[in-house]
Amino acid sequence: MTDVLAERAEIDAQIAGRSIAHAFADTVARLGDAPAYSDKVGVEGTDWRTLSWNELRDQGLDVAAALIDLGVEPGDRVAIMATNRIEHILADIGAMHAGATGMSIYNTLSPSQVAYVADHSTPAVVILENADHVARWSDALAAAAPTQVVVIDPTAAPAGAITWDDLVKRGQSLRSELDAEIAQRWQAISPELPATILYTSGTTGNPKGVVITHRNVLFEVASTDKTVGASEDEDLVTVSYLPYAHIAERVLGIYLPQVMGGHLHLVADPALLVASLGQVKPTRFFGVPRVWEKIQTGIGGLLAMETDENKKKAVADAMATGLEYVESLQYGNTTSPELQARFDAVNAAVLTPMKSMLGLERVAWAGSASAPMPIETARFFAGLGFSIYDIYGMTETCGAVTACGPSAFRLGTVGRAQPGIEVRLAEDGEILARGPVTTTGYHKNPEATAELIDAEGWVHTGDIGEIDEDGFVKVVDRKKELIITSAGKNIAPSNIENMLKESPLVGHALAYGEGKPYVVAILTLDPDVAPIVAGKMGIEAEAAADLTALSTNPAILGLVGQAVEKCNERLSRPEQVKKWKLLPVEWTAESAELTPTLKLKRRVVHTNYAAEITALYED
């Protein structure tokens, strides 16, 4: 406890009295004309549109001046629905320097969900990117129009809205007049004021607005910096592709750069991520487990296509050495000189060329969060020489409360408590966290806040976990999602689901068994892998591309059945999947079975596929 409190006091002294705006001003002064953010908007081929740190702040202040002219007051909210592009960053910076709170809203929310968020948060200004976003805000704008609507795409601006270009021009013309007002507003931001309000995507019910303060953010960045062990001369080059309504991307893609610097490359469409990695060659890369699984599938497909048995053996041997090396880096282990030499050799000859095919050869830090990383995926990338540092936290804790890092990591865990943060287990195994990263509460929802944070300041995460003798935390499952069978057996569905998804054919999986005598599973095909597998099996191209047809194809069903059997071999008898159903559909955030951060909405699946689940128990 003494060490935790000492670490906390050290970080608190470092950030005392400061806001993100203060840290941003220092970063701009330090980096000046160095590149800050790049995106692909309005450019072709391999070109990028880039703003330097000086240009970023200058244009952000133009936006601040325009927002003030539109009537934005300190403490107001500015809602932003846009993809990852420079205008999104400028809108957030402009809102902050106007003394307001920038709020990124998930692009996939339905009109009714947007209407709820708008009514609950009452934004003074709404900034939208395109016609799709305007349509999603139609109900909200009809119910109670905010002070002003700004649309980035000029062709999508509805009546009464102004375009982004007009907003910027208005700010440019008013800057000299409002410079003193802008300076007064951002310099007056105190650490306890909201930096943002993030409406959690949630798996049930209306989203809750999590208030994140400037102190939360600065403490999180400083604590994470200690875990990562970054140096001031690190060449920080990253790719930002997850939604900015996601706490991890907001910290890594907006706040950490403003505090630490670096060069961020914004990717509006995650489908373009792999191509962008090849151009950017980042030095750090963060991905939710589904992204890592997709990359693994891609590499696995390339390896499977290799017909030269000698080359396949060389790769297999190199990856075995890579895995052995990464395992030797785990906490409490040592790397022998002999193993280091073997790894250096295969890394140079085999593994680095493989990583370079994806643009990942320069990655010195790789992270994952948002959901448990399947251990087989972590081991696969360890075979490439990657230590993927698993991170654990939630929006309500401004991101990470535990993390693996270069100085201490263990495969299959989410690391140890970050500097200055306390983590422990409740009597029922629930993970509890406490520290300066804790939200001040849910916006206008004291009842939910009281359920989240107890009288002693502990955040109740809702996750069941384990902590080993060295302090490494393992997340077992969601507290409310544990399956209790009719025999009284407690089963973690995510463990089963992760094993099922180890098959490249399986896109998503849901395990079910609450109050039932045995566990069943609902499965979907991976839309990228299934057609390739079908083609290799001689299925005609048109049929191979049809997921509906493949879901009833005997050969595909046989392969999926083998994957289920392989999973069952590693499970205890009560956990084993006795029956399963392959669906003729794909689950996405748009189809409602997944959240915008690709987490499974269990209750939605339970409702949408109740008949299929019932049928699995009928005989």
Q: Which structure tokens are listed for 509?
A: 């999986």
Tell me the whole-structure pTM to 2 decimals: 0.85
- Location of structure tokens 């270069």: 406
Q: Which structure tokens are listed for 183?
A: 């300076």
Residues 494 and 480 sit within 8 Å (Cβ to Cβ): no
- Location of structure tokens 């119910």: 143
- Segment 533-541 mean pLDDT: 85
Helix (H) or strand (E) holding 603: helix 602-608
Helix (H) or strand (E) holding 582: strand 577-582
Q: Which structure tokens are listed for 456?
A: 């002693």
Sign of CA dihedral 309, 310, 316, 319: negative
> What CA dihedral angle connects 55, 57, 58 and 62, to 10 degrees?
130
**In this model, does residue 343 exceed pLDDT 70?**
yes
Residue-level pLDDT at 227: 95
The CA distance from 159 to 13, in Å, is: 50
**In this model, does residue 203 exceed pLDDT 50?**
no
- Choose between 204 and 488: higher pLDDT: 488
Residue-level pLDDT at 491: 85
**In this model, does residue 232 exceed pLDDT 90?**
no
**C-beta atoms surrounding 274 within 10 Å:** 16
The CA distance from 84 to 258, in Å, is: 16
The CA distance from 37 to 258, in Å, is: 11
Residues 405 and 229 sit within 8 Å (Cβ to Cβ): yes
DSSP string, 222-282: HHHHHHHT--TT---EEEE-S-TTSHHHHIIIIIHHHHH--EEEE-SSGGGHHHHHHHH--
DSSP label of 438: S
The CA distance from 280 to 553, in Å, is: 41
Sign of CA dihedral 266, 107, 166, 180: negative
**In this model, does residue 559 exceed pLDDT 90?**
yes
Residues 422 and 435 sit within 8 Å (Cβ to Cβ): yes
Residue-level pLDDT at 84: 98
**In this model, does residue 140 exceed pLDDT 50?**
yes
Q: Which structure tokens are listed for 214?
A: 């400037």
Residue-level pLDDT at 201: 61
Residue-level pLDDT at 595: 81
Side-chain-facing half-sphere of 547: CA atoms under 13 Å: 17
Q: What percent of the chain has pLDDT over 90?
A: 76
**In this model, does residue 204 exceed pLDDT 80?**
no
- Choose between 464 and 2: higher pLDDT: 464
Spell out the residues 6+ positions from residue 258 whose beta carbon is closer than 8 angstroms to its own: 20, 23, 24, 27, 93
The CA distance from 447 to 525, in Å, is: 41
Range with lowest mean pLDDT among 144-148, 460-464, 602-606: 144-148
Q: What pLDDT, in 10s, does the model give residues 50-103?
A: 999 999 999 999 999 999 999 999 999 999 999 999 999 999 999 999 999 999
Q: Domain residues of the chain, as ranges?
A: 20-189+235-275, 287-479, 482-615
467 phi/psi in degrees, rounded to 5: -125, 125
Residue-level pLDDT at 90: 98
Range with lowest mean pLDDT among 35-39, 192-196, 354-358: 354-358
Specify the CATH number of the domain 482-615.
Answer: 3.30.300.30
- Segment 128-150 mean pLDDT: 90
Q: What pLDDT, in 10s, does the model give residues 443-456?
A: 999 999 999 999 99
Average predicted confidence (pLDDT) for the chain: 93
Helix (H) or strand (E) holding 389: strand 388-394
Instruction: Return the bridge partners of 423, or none.
Output: 433
Q: What pLDDT, in 10s, does the model give residues 591-619?
A: 889 887 778 888 889 999 999 999 999 86
The CA distance from 289 to 373, in Å, is: 5
Pick the CATH number of 287-479 from 3.30.930.10, 3.90.226.10, 3.40.190.10, 3.40.50.12780: 3.40.50.12780
Residues 582 and 554 sit within 8 Å (Cβ to Cβ): no
**In this model, does residue 243 exceed pLDDT 70?**
yes
**In this model, does residue 1 exceed pLDDT 60?**
no
Strands (E), 306-398: 365-368, 388-394
The CA distance from 495 to 511, in Å, is: 9
**In this model, does residue 499 exceed pLDDT 70?**
yes
Please give the radius of gyration of the chain, using alpha carbons only, rounded to the nearest integer: 25
Q: Decide whether 20-189+235-275 matches 287-479 in CATH topology.
A: yes
**Angle between helix 53-69 and 164-187 (nearest 10):** 90
Residue-level pLDDT at 600: 86
Residues 320 and 383 sit within 8 Å (Cβ to Cβ): yes
Give which of 522, 524, 492 is closest to 507, Cα–Cα.
Answer: 524
Q: What pLDDT, in 10s, does the model give residues 364-408?
A: 999 999 877 888 899 999 999 999 999 999 999 999 999 999 999
Spell out the residues 6+ positions from residue 417 whose beta carbon is closer than 8 angstroms to its own: 4, 401, 402, 423, 433, 471, 473
The CA distance from 452 to 91, in Å, is: 31
Q: What pLDDT, in 10s, does the model give residues 463-498?
A: 999 999 999 999 987 787 888 887 767 788 988 999
Three state DSSP letters for 169-198: HHHHHHHHHHHHHHHHHHHCCCCCCEEEEE
Phi-psi region of 75 (alpha: psi -120 to 50; beta: other; left: phi over 0): left
Helix (H) or strand (E) holding 506: strand 506-512
- Location of structure tokens 């990338």: 381
The fold of 20-189+235-275 is Rossmann fold (3.40.50)
**In this model, does residue 305 exceed pLDDT 90?**
no
- Segment 205-230 mean pLDDT: 93
**In this model, does residue 173 exceed pLDDT 80?**
yes
